[in-house]
Amino acid sequence: MDCSVIVCVLTTPSRHLVQPLQHFIALNSLSICLLLLSVKTGEICAFKIHGQELPFEAVVLNQTSGEGRLRARGAIDCELQKEYTFIIQAYDCGAGTRAAAWKKSHKAVVHIQVKDVNEFAPTFKEPAYKAVVTEGKIYDSILQVEAVDEDCSPQYSQICNYEIVTTDVPFAIDRNGNIRNTEKLSYDKQHQYEILVTAYDCGQKPAAQDTLVQVDVKPVCKPGWQDWTKRIEYQPGSGSVPLFPSIHLETCDGAVSSIQITTELQTNYIGKGCDRETYSEKSLQKLCGASSGIIDLLPSPSAAMNWTAGLLVDSSEMIFKFDGRQGAKIPDGIVPKNLTDQFTITMWMKHGPSPGVRAEKETILCNSDKTEMNRHHYALYVHNCRLVFLLRKDFDQADTFRPAEFHWKLDQICDKEWHYYVINVEFPVVTLYMDGATYEPYLVTNDWPIHPSHIAMQLTVGACWQGGEVTKPRFAQFFHGSLASLTIRPGKMESQKVISCLQACKEGLDLNSLESLGQGIKYHFNPSQSVLVMEGDDIGNINHALQKVSYINSRQFPTAGVRRLKVSSKVQCFGEDVCISIPDLDTYVMVLQAIEPQITLRGTDRFWRPAAQFASARGVVLFPDIKIVSTFTKAEAPGDLRATGASWVVGTPKSAVLEEMLHNLDFCDILVLGGDLDPREECLELNHSELHQRHLDATNSTAGYSIYGVGSMSRYEQVLRHVRYRHWRPATLEARRFRIKCSELNGRYSSNEFNLEVSVLHEVRVSDEEHVNHLIVQPPFLQSVHHPESRVSVQHSSVVPSISTVVIIISVCMLVFVVAMGVYRARIAHQHFTQETEAAKEAEMDWDDSALTITVNPMEKHEAPGRGEDETEEEEEEVEEDISSSSSDSDDSDEEEVEEGTGRGRHGQSGARQAQLEWDDSTLPY
């Protein structure tokens, strides 16, 4: 052969390392291609590589033997070039030292292969992968992930395996990167899965960074309402709040021709079936404009009306619960014996099916014989889910058959929900109103009239009194259920308007912007606005209409709690026997707790009046400056500005502040403390015109005065300021104490207990001359009052010491030395009187001495000598304010007159006053 081929394998663990090549031997003449040949003649001085920019060089190791080494001159990288092929020649040294004369060998071909090292880790082509699947299906491949490796050899550049790093997920992956689900996915269970995946090359080197695979689960298209919330919060006072502002109907491309939606607000478990005012029945009747003369048969227990004291009662709503063992007797005189031919019975009732197989009569109201016999004159009862009204007319010269029983068969009587019943009687016509709807009796039973007798009758509630046909009179035919607001109105029937008002609900469904509902939408409310039915043929209009449905509660203090909502749908399709079915929507409104008011009564709590005022025709005004204020606590955010005393504090921590609010009251009680009033000597009085002008009522007794009726706080203030106390024998009276307490919503919110003490200024009869000087001194309760607009001065009577003169003359007649002592004391008294008169003039207190009545403060003689200055000023201030108030209210009083004066200041008063009084005239009733 005239050519040789040398094959070398180069191993490069790193591109930055240079390793020597396997050595070789070049020959002058080669017979075979071997790495090591024998040398025949001469020496080898060099090797030459033919090729452009090859990273190799050949060096001579042994010139004699011709052994040489081929090595790399720089970094060898398999990823840049896997193989090298070039030509090499050897040069001998036989021609001397000149290189040009060297002999060269024939050309030999060198082939070098670069061996790969697992230098690179796999990397994914995408930083993240995303797929969407439908729930309930098993997929062979949801998506495929792919990784690559930059190594040059097939062993290290190929991806041999993929692995899911995230544990406990229902997915698997094969060696090709295909991801599948191992079980059916559920949208309700989990909307989205996020899993991490890694890759391995064939050298088992893992990927440098895992990739994220996101799998979204799409629900199977199911017809139904979308984008609604389970809980809707309602803040009291918010008005009308939309229930489903973003709701829409998914029909899954169904061919819908029309749809009917029924929205129902379920409030049967709240109060009387919904949020209604909890005022007393009399107050509600008055608010609705009902006729007077209504008698409440189930009043709140009190001292005057205590026949309901033994019944089970829910005090918050005045609901009486009857368990089949209780009844109440109505006292005689509460309801007239004869109801005439016209009267009305009203009630709230919640009743379920009667227990037992054989149902007995369950009496609501019964008027029967008290003794001897067992005749029922009139009664209202439930029997086998029928409401029955019995009315037996008395004999009146006409012994003929008359209607006696009236029956109504209604499902609502036994549905365990609250309903409002009104029975209007205009004999012989009897009409039932239930929840505002009219029902005629389906069966009328005639009977003979009841013949007259002298047997007294007993009216009962919750059972019927059986006075005859038994060994011992007892209750029978007990009622099982709940009753409230059971009333009877003799002599008159209620109008439809009043009936509707009395059963009106304060909460319900509402529609915002009726004009925007669209032309094709029909809607209908039930009378209580708890059910709304809408119908249309366009899905878009239906969605828009349901988005307008709102909840509203007009009570200022609504009952907090849950109001359940149910939306049901009926769909009709085009020409299809089987149409889509839309599941009912169940949600609820959470009515939050209203801010509770704090009702506060303020005013003068102690004052004195002369005895003559108590005995006068007008008496003494008890509460001339009473003030009723209602506040609530409001949290103040940090950083707000607020007044603190006379300065402003900025950026202080969050705190609570009081803000005033306006609302109604339904009663104020004035109680007499320390024993009831003696009607022979004293009484509380109030002009009825003051009540009628403000649409309030009142009851008076020896225990106090009760003012009731729904009215604003200012109305109650005006009425209370006209309450007077009279006492015909004030000489026997030292003091009287009273207490006021007001309420809102039948006691749900109560005020503080405001106590008042009224004392009498008695006349003093002088019996000893040592009292003369004390009497001449100006009384501490006579002071001038500064008014913001005008100055008022009280005229004082100048004192003429005629009694003291008589005493002194008698003393002189008895003993001469007593005369000297008397003259001395008279002179001292005269000087003291002159000083007091000058001080009175400076204070503009001019007295009229035409009718002098010397009075002293009964508290003065008990005053401790060392009493503090602040206490004296406080008592003097109270006395002065009371006299000023009394003077303004009692124009015909003979004891004191008030007239305008020039109003000089009081800074020049005598030091005997202990301290200058500083008045706060903000509460004076001018």
Question: Is 911 within the bounds of a domain?
Answer: no
Contact assessment for residue 662 and residue 681, using Cβ atoms and an 8 Å cutoff: no
The answer for residues whose C-beta is within 8 angstroms of residue 545's C-beta and 6 or more apart is 261, 517, 518, 521, 523, 534, 536
**Residues 63 and 176 reside in one and the same domain:** no
**What confidence score (pLDDT) does residue 791 get?**
33
Structural domain total, the chain: 5
Q: Which pLDDT tens digit goes with each residue over 386-418?
A: 999 998 876 664 667 788 899 999 999 999 888
Question: Is 552 within the bounds of a domain?
Answer: yes
**Residues 401 and 344 reside in one and the same domain:** yes
DSSP string, 466-505: E-BSSSS-EEES--EEEEEEEEEEET-PPPHHHHHHHT--
Q: Which pLDDT tens digit goes with each residue over 847-861?
A: 333 334 444 444 443
**Residues 330 and 423 reside in one and the same domain:** yes
CA distance 465 to 452: 19
Which single residue is written with the structure tokens 């709102």? 550
Its sign, for the CA torsion 39, 41, 45, 48, is negative
**Residues 314 and 457 reside in one and the same domain:** yes
Strands (E), 773-849: 785-786, 791-794
The CATH number assigned to the domain holding 22 equals 2.60.40
Q: Is 131 exposed, middle or buried (0-12, 13-18, 19+ CB in 10 A)?
A: middle
Three-state secondary structure call for residue 517: helix
Domain with 737 in it: 598-634+658-761
Three-state secondary structure call for residue 9: strand
**What confidence score (pLDDT) does residue 881 get?**
42
How far lies 495's CA from each of 268, 297, 431, 489, 505, in Å? Answer: 26, 20, 12, 12, 18
Contact assessment for residue 886 and residue 896, using Cβ atoms and an 8 Å cutoff: yes
**Residues 256 and 291 reside in one and the same domain:** no
Strand ranges of the sheet holding 240-242, from the earlier edge strand across to the other edge: 240-242, 549-553, 507-511
**Residues 700 and 618 reside in one and the same domain:** yes
CA distance 321 to 918: 59
**Residues 458 and 519 reside in one and the same domain:** no
**What confidence score (pLDDT) does residue 841 get?**
39
Question: Is 288 within the bounds of a domain?
Answer: yes
Question: Is 317 within the bounds of a domain?
Answer: yes
How far lies 662's CA from each of 593, 595, 598, 711, 714, in Å? Answer: 18, 12, 11, 11, 10
The CATH number assigned to the domain holding 446 equals 2.60.120.200
**Residues 214 and 235 reside in one and the same domain:** no
Question: Is 428 within the bounds of a domain?
Answer: yes
Question: Is 32 within the bounds of a domain?
Answer: yes
The CATH number assigned to the domain holding 172 equals 2.60.40.60
Domain boundary among 479, 503, 527: 503
Question: Is 416 within the bounds of a domain?
Answer: yes
**Residues 353 and 383 reside in one and the same domain:** yes
Low-confidence ranges of the chain (pLDDT < 50): 1-41, 397, 639-652, 766-802, 806, 832-926
Domain boundary among 744, 761, 778: 761
Question: Is 101 within the bounds of a domain?
Answer: yes
**Residues 627 and 699 reside in one and the same domain:** yes
**Residues 311 and 259 reside in one and the same domain:** no
Domain boundary among 723, 740, 761: 761
How far lies 133's CA from each of 144, 187, 191, 477, in Å? Answer: 14, 10, 10, 68
Contact assessment for residue 642 and residue 613, using Cβ atoms and an 8 Å cutoff: no
**Residues 367 and 241 reside in one and the same domain:** no
